[in-house]
Structure 1
């Protein structure tokens, strides 16, 4: 919600310090802003238009990812994520309806993003001295970000309110009715992305800035939107087979009830059609997804290819052509850093060990979906090898995952665990900075 900026004025204090005497009422009430920028201060130029778009991007950090609030509500509602009960709260059961500050961010953060995008669109459209291509790209980026936000909201909440203009412009702060799911897609998300994909710079255009969205970003999201509709509208009764099962069973082992982990097994389910998607043709939207994705792969929206697998997970690969859209973070920064990743990979304490912030990981069933030699698991997954316990007097800890070849590597002290005292773990790109974890190898399997 756009509010009037409040500025700090040095009036009375300046009088006391300087001994100056005001000679008129006008000088006494003169406003001297010392902080913030008001719309009138943004110049009518390409640079000014870009300032508006940057303000919209900034909402992603400021309203959602800051303090690790997002995307926790959605990421934790997953069959393959495991962790402490207290950390999952209502998220593990897909409850996004509030009552928790973390869950609220999904709703308030996305609507903040939408509102700022609406303001930016309105202000950019007023500009007269912005080059045509630059203005088109700036507006396209705003359209993409609005569609991205609505896509998250409609999947989490179903029918949702739609704001075509900012609340300042409409004056409609509350009581905005929810729009049916089908209309959210056909009247808002899909039109926005269709426009955006043809307005935003391709990654091969001179005006494109690495790290920003490009034409393929919008087209790629459109393909995902189509595929999501295709899946959700699939008729009730369709048979789907996936590998799953209870993660463990309790068995009596030598007179003690013991947790015994299970293997995933192929299980067939009958699909339910998702409420609100009944009017869509599943096959038609899968066809549309296939066509748009094919256009992206074929180069219609710029040059995008499968990069070297090691590159895409490295700091230098954050803006490579395979990545269509990603959050750029800054390590150690209060606003532009992110605490979200620390739950998965922990943080290094003064002793060089991972502290107790490591509380989330993929459960064993997920690992067992891959062969141990699968390159995607070896190089594409951050393995948190050890967690430092609060009581470190005995010099050990616990490592994760603690089975299969990962367990064998630690116990045999294979590289990178071959130093008898301190060794280095896998590289971690946390909050945009490359770090190496150092662990003691006096391991106790807990």
Structure 2
């Protein structure tokens, strides 16, 4: 907690995120302590630097420098990798990972910093009222985002909505219920929605900042998470050792029992529709362009974690996830089973997976071996895998476009929200409310059509390019079939973006799906126990917060 009680820095992140903050101001260190806010919140520059301090925590070694994505991306049924890297969180052993406490510590650091902004920025008079309003919206959003992550990862958590001070010295706070924690998330996202400006507004803020559309989408996502967690029924998932289709009876997520799932699905659909109706966002036409440097901060990437080469705001996503890295090859890849869940015409696998690459040692490798006719000889180069199964690695392109791919730490951007998810939220919610109707299909196919080629039909049909038949989701699905298809579509669309694990959890099928695999590709264990449904609360918190009464999450 030392980062909370000493200083918040505008630092280089002010340069990476806020082009209007001067170099001198961005590098100043000021005492944004909750003990003496009068020294820190005097004018607009102070307010901007303080909100930068909240954003800064996203780029800490508690969150997205590694721990957060390590503990979410690596823990699902569609990821494999080197055993030296996936042997902890990737194998269901988070306590063996050095960053196990990261999500808890990082989220509460964000909450503490956001609390000081919320309490002190309203008192500033030397500030543009619109900027003041936006900063308040950002603080509410980031606090809500932190609680949203905490409740999904740990269940109900202690709620702290005031900065620690002489007037509020209490550090021993009991756990709230899951529902009470979600109520805080919803309240904060609503406050953010009210205060933030829409994308394109002159005062909406620079790339990397959240805006009104992002707040609306996360509010919809919160409703959707609660609704699916409270739902009953069956879900069919492709997987297991044979990549077959298995139907599971879902479990209601603990703490959401008795919730009116249909009502929350309605809230989710309607709020997501507001984002669509705003016409502020659009899907990127080209899958490759979406993940290029030129595609950063476009109208599909609603909220991305920013990076800047040559500063401290870099990460090792490229090194771990890309085909070529300083390790020789990357340490994380998509399983062969998941690769085979894409249609052969789907650009998310044609362009989204690296089929031909050269390792750091100079070896030319193609993937997959069963498509040798397509990938073994390309551009006059013969890619020879020498029959090695270690070459069966489907590396994503999502973190490959960086300024300098030869270094371990680079400027990969990380997607925190994409517009495609808004459409798929509508598809899921509409199906759960009214069945697989035209509205549900329209939203689902909106995402699918982007990733498939067009063709010109033969006469006498009009000679206008149209999507190939494979682009469309199967017609006449039942609600249960549609539900399962949307879940699979989300896996195809958001592969390696940290969404799959949360999807399996909110649908109450995580244990069933993982244990159906047992030992997965590259001998990575997918066996999970009931305790893996929640992460362990840090022992420091258990020991210092007497209101927790020494109790951790079950079986930790």
Query: Do these two structures clear the TM 0.5 threshold for a shared fold by scoring above it?
Result: yes
Q: How many correspondences in the alignment?
A: 370
Post-superposition Cα deviations, 1:97-142, rounded to whole Å, max 9, x if no partner, equal x453222111111111111111222221221222222111101111
**1:244–1:267 contact (8 Å) kept in structure 2:** yes
Question: CA separation of 1:240/1:375 partners in 2, compared to 1, >3 Å: closer, same or farther?
Answer: same
Post-superposition Cα deviations, 1:161-187, rounded to whole Å, max 9, x if no partner, equal 1110123463233x321111011012x
Q: What's the counterpart of residue 330 of structure 1?
A: 308
Residues of 2 paired with 1:50 and 1:384: CA distance?
44
**2:230–2:260 contact (8 Å) kept in structure 1:** yes
What secondary structure sits across from 2:127 in the alignment?
coil
Question: CA separation of 1:35/1:131 partners in 2, compared to 1, >3 Å: closer, same or farther?
Answer: closer
Residues of 2 paired with 1:222 and 1:427: CA distance?
29
What secondary structure sits across from 1:130 in the alignment?
coil
Instruction: State whether structure 2 residue 247 is matched by structure 1 residue 241.
Output: no
Residues of 1 paired with 2:402 and 2:187: CA distance?
37
Q: What's the counterpart of residue 206 of structure 1?
A: 202
Post-superposition Cα deviations, 1:35-73, rounded to whole Å, max 9, x if no partner, equal 732246656333332111111111111243464222110
Residues of 2 paired with 1:122 and 1:52: CA distance?
12
> Which residue of the other structure, out of 299, 302, 307, is the alignment partner of 2:284?
307
- The alignment's TM-score, normalised by the length of structure 2, stands at 0.61
> C-alpha displacement at 1:294, in angstroms?
0.6
Q: What's the counterpart of residue 540 of structure 2?
A: none
**2:40–2:46 contact (8 Å) kept in structure 1:** yes
**2:318–2:325 contact (8 Å) kept in structure 1:** no
Q: Which has the higher contact order (CA 8 A, sep 6+)?
A: 2
**2:357–2:364 contact (8 Å) kept in structure 1:** yes
Residues of 1 paired with 2:397 and 2:236: CA distance?
34
Q: What's the counterpart of residue 363 of structure 2?
A: 396
Residues of 2 paired with 1:369 and 1:348: CA distance?
27
Residues of 2 paired with 1:168 and 1:382: CA distance?
51
CA RMSD of superposed structures (Å):
3.0
**2:48–2:135 contact (8 Å) kept in structure 1:** yes
**2:41–2:120 contact (8 Å) kept in structure 1:** no
Instruction: State whether structure 2 residue 145 is matched by structure 1 residue 152.
Output: no
Where does structure 1 lack aligned partners over 5 or more consecutive residues? Answer: 7-33, 247-261, 350-354, 438-445
- The alignment's TM-score, normalised by the length of structure 1, stands at 0.75
Residues of 2 paired with 1:223 and 1:338: CA distance?
29
**1:329–1:432 contact (8 Å) kept in structure 2:** no
What secondary structure sits across from 2:304 in the alignment?
coil
Instruction: State whether structure 2 residue 402 is matched by structure 1 residue 433.
Output: yes
Instruction: State whether structure 2 residue 102 is matched by structure 1 residue 105.
Output: yes
Instruction: State whether structure 2 residue 192 is matched by structure 1 residue 196.
Output: yes
Where does structure 2 lack aligned partners over 5 or more consecutive residues? Answer: 9-26, 33-37, 385-394, 407-521, 523-556
**2:62–2:101 contact (8 Å) kept in structure 1:** no
Question: CA separation of 1:157/1:93 partners in 2, compared to 1, >3 Å: closer, same or farther?
Answer: farther
Residues of 2 paired with 1:213 and 1:83: CA distance?
33
Residues of 1 paired with 2:383 and 2:268: CA distance?
53
Q: What's the counterpart of residue 258 of structure 1?
A: none
Q: Which has the higher helix share?
A: 2
Q: What's the counterpart of residue 473 of structure 2?
A: none
**1:329–1:431 contact (8 Å) kept in structure 2:** no
Q: What's the counterpart of residue 286 of structure 1?
A: 265
Residues of 1 paired with 2:292 and 2:220: CA distance?
27
**2:324–2:359 contact (8 Å) kept in structure 1:** no
